[in-house]
Amino acid sequence: MVDIPKRRANRLRVMTEIFNAAHGNRHAFVATDPIRDHLELSEEEMADACNYLEGEGLIEGTQTLRLYPSQVSLTHWGIREVEQSQEHPEEPTEHFPPLVTVTQHFHGDVISSAIQAGSPGATQMAAIGSLDFDTVREFVQRYEEVEPSLGLDAENAAELQADIATIRAQLTSPRPKSEIIRQSLRTARTILEGATGSLAASGLLELLQHIHF
C-alpha cells in the first residue's frame, strides 16, 4: 500500500532542500545526490519526489539515464510555492502539506512527518517544543565570533553563511517563523558535523544541543 502522506512529505522536504541549496535562485543548479543522502531517502523515494516536482513545473532537471536528475534548478513557480509554504507554515499549498507537519529530528529516535491520524487524508501535527530565541541569538553571535576558524570549504562556508543570514533575518522580524529557523539550524548542524577536528565547530554543536529544534 502506498503511503501517500509520506510521499507528500518527502516532496516538500526535497523541494525545501533544493530551495535552500539554491538560496532561492532559479539560475543556480543543485546536485541531488547530497540532498538524497542528507534526507536519508532511497533512490526510488528521491526519484518519486523529483519526478513529481518536475512534472508539476516546480523544478527543472538535467536529462539523465538515472532514476532522477543529477542536477536540478528551481522554476519561478517553484520559488513562489516554497516562499508561500515558509511564510504560512501552518497552511497547505497547492502541491504540499503544511510545513509544520513535516519535521525531521536528526540525532533522535523519531523521524516525524505528516502522517495519517485515523482517517484517510487526515494529517497530524508533529509535536515540537517552543524555540528558545535567546539561545538561538547566542548561537548566531558565537558563530560570528568563530566563523574564520571553522575551517570549512568554500561551498559549505557559503551555505552556512546563508543559513545564519536566514536565522538572523527571522530573529529581527516582528513575527519570526520558528519552522524556518529550525530548518536553517538543522542544515547548520549538518555542516558543522562535517568540520571534523575543529574546536570552534565542536563548541557551536555543543550550543546547538541546548536548542530544541
Whether residues 84 and 13 share a domain: the answer is yes
Distance CA 70, CA 74 (A): 14
Task: Give the three cell numbers for residue 21.
Answer: 541549496
User: Is the pLDDT confidence value at 196 over 80?
Assistant: no
Q: What is the CATH number of the domain that holds 85?
A: 1.10.10.10
Is residue 103 within 8 A of residue 96, CB to CB? The reply is no
Whether residues 95 and 166 share a domain: the answer is no
Whether residues 152 and 195 share a domain: the answer is yes
Distance CA 97, CA 81 (A): 11
Average pLDDT over residues 180-191: 89
User: Is the pLDDT confidence value at 51 over 50?
Assistant: yes
Indicate whether 68 belongs to any domain: yes
Distance CA 48, CA 28 (A): 22
Structural domain boundaries, residue 78: 4-101
Given the C-alpha cell 513562489, which residue does it identify?
80
The DSSP element (H or E) to which 72 belongs, if any, is strand 71-74
Instruction: Give me the pLDDT at residue 12, please.
Output: 93
